[in-house]
């Protein structure tokens, strides 16, 4: 079976979609002679501040074809132009003239559209992995008449891909009401994000740590990930860090569209926040293990009440207390599955201070969670589902 996997991001790019795509590709390829897998992706472009010197693709037991993108300015326009180049090149770049199955993992809908178009051209089965709700998020973030008109167009495309696909996976069960309203199918899958192997290994070797015995030194609170409209860090961290001055210092590791806004607000308030450019995962683990508390925040818009942040899985394995500004499904998931988390409403500084003060500062051994949500286990199950979709076509 010839399988084509489309993913805009792929390691060494640093993003949740990148790590997920790699894990899925590895799992599909592990079925051996049953499948022949090609991956079409881009050269690393997630962050300008993270540009790997070399890319090692030769050790993969599948072919990876990378489409180079020009270094454009960040922003919506640059992203649109980059994707157009990616889409135009994808069909020509495919190593095989025919595929039996196309798998598209997509957060901003367009990779799903590209996968749908290619699958129709090949007469192939289509497996969609929907990692986000693009249309609702777009309309919430860009509230205007123009955004509403553009959202209508994207909405038509969204219905098209959902109705065309043989199988649709939703990365968050919280997405189901939204997607059922767009396409009332009864076979949605729910293969979520999970705990990657390096974090599984760390979870097994955690040492007891009591930060409150550090002779009154400020606690070290760490956030790692994207810094954009979706996270809304500029709406919470500058003021929160000032309120916790003397009690805690924040380290923010990452980059994104609102990074400079966050930097400027912190400078204006004299906020004790250290901003660190994106780092490879090995180095990131060192930051995590020096942290006393891990921080998570989603912007306060309706679409994000459906999201299940991939960062929660990473954080949970590390045994540290977690301070999370989330609503909706993420809050429910934390309540059910992750011990040692204090949740506060996004953007609410007063509630965040109270949540911080109520945290139990100890090491949490979340073995049941790590075993239940190990990425390798989830991706093996998803890969089996992918191959069954192709076989049934």
Superfamily of 197-372 according to CATH: Glycogen Phosphorylase B; (3.40.50.2000)
**Residue 144: what pLDDT?**
62
In this structure, which topology does domain 2-194+375-392 adopt according to CATH? Rossmann fold (3.40.50)
User: Beta partners for 106?
Assistant: 130
- Asked which of 15-24, 132-141, 308-317, 355-364 is least confident by mean pLDDT, the reply is 132-141
Mean pLDDT of all residues in 335-352:
97
**Cα 74 off chain centre by:** 19
- pLDDT digits 0-9 by tens, 151-185: 788 999 999 999 999 999 999 999 999 999 999 99
**Residue 214: what pLDDT?**
54
**Domain extents in the chain:** 2-194+375-392, 197-372
- pLDDT digits 0-9 by tens, 17-61: 999 999 999 999 999 888 999 999 998 876 665 666 657 676 678
- pLDDT digits 0-9 by tens, 187-244: 999 999 999 999 999 998 887 665 545 556 899 999 999 999 889 999 999 999 999 9
What are the tokens at 353? 């201070």
**Residue 8: what pLDDT?**
94
Buried b (16+ CB within 10 A) or exposed e, 220-239: bbbbbbbbbbbbbbbbbbbb
- pLDDT digits 0-9 by tens, 261-296: 999 999 999 999 999 999 988 899 999 999 999 999
3-state secondary structure of 75: coil
Mean pLDDT of all residues in 86-96:
91
What are the tokens at 21? 């795509």
d(CA 290, CA 357): 20
Matching fold, domains 2-194+375-392 and 197-372:
yes
Q: Is the pLDDT of residue 364 over 70?
A: yes
- Asked which of 100-109, 197-206, 327-336 is least confident by mean pLDDT, the reply is 197-206
d(CA 65, CA 202): 32
Q: Is the pLDDT of residue 63 over 80?
A: yes
> Chain-wide mean pLDDT for the chain?
91
Buried b (16+ CB within 10 A) or exposed e, 354-365: ebbeebebebbe
- Asked which of 47-61, 257-271, 349-363, 379-393 is least confident by mean pLDDT, the reply is 47-61
């Amino acid at each position: 079976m010839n399988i084509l996997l489309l993913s805009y991001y792929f390691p060494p790019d640093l993003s949740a979609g990148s790590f997920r795509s790699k894990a899925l590709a590895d799992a599909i390829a592990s079925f051996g002679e049953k499948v022949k897998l090609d991956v079409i992706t881009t050269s690393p472009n997630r962050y300008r501040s993270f540009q790997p010197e070399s890319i090692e693709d030769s050790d993969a037991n599948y072919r990876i074809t990378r489409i180079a993108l020009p270094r454009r300015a960040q922003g919506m326009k640059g992203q649109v132009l980059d994707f157009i180049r990616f889409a135009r090149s994808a069909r020509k770049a495919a190593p095989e003239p025919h595929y039996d199955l196309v798998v598209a993992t997509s957060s901003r809908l367009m990779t799903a559209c590209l996968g749908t178009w290619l699958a129709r051209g090949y007469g192939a089965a289509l497996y969609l992995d929907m990692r986000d709700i693009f249309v609702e998020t777009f309309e919430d973030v860009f509230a205007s008449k123009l955004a509403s008109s553009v959202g209508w167009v994207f909405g038509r495309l969204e219905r098209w891909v959902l109705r065309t696909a043989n199988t649709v996976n939703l990365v968050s069960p919280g997405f189901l009401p939204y997607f059922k309203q767009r396409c009332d199918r009864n076979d949605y899958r729910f293969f979520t994000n999970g705990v990657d192997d390096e974090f599984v290994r760390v979870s097994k070797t955690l040492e007891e740590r009591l930060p409150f015995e550090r002779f009154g030194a400020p606690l070290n609170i760490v956030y790692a990930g994207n810094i954009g409209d979706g996270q809304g860090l500029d709406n919470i961290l500058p003021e929160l860090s000032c309120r916790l001055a003397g009690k805690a210092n924040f380290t923010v590791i990452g980059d994104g569209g609102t990074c400079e806004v966050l930097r400027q607000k912190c400078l204006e308030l004299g906020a004790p926040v250290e901003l660190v450019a994106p780092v490879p995962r090995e180095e990131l683990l060192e930051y995590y293990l020096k942290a006393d508390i891990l921080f998570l925040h989603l912007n306060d818009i309706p679409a994000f009440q459906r999201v299940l942040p991939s960062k929660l899985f990473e954080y949970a394995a590390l045994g540290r207390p977690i301070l999370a500004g989330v609503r909706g499904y993420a809050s429910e998931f934390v309540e059910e599955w992750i011990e040692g988390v204090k949740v506060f409403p996004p953007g609410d500084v007063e509630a965040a201070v109270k949540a911080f003060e109520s945290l139990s500062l100890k090491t949490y051994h979340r073995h049941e969670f790590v075993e239940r949500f190990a990425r390798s286990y989830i991706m093996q199950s998803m890969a089996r589902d992918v191959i069954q979709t192709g076989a049934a076509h």
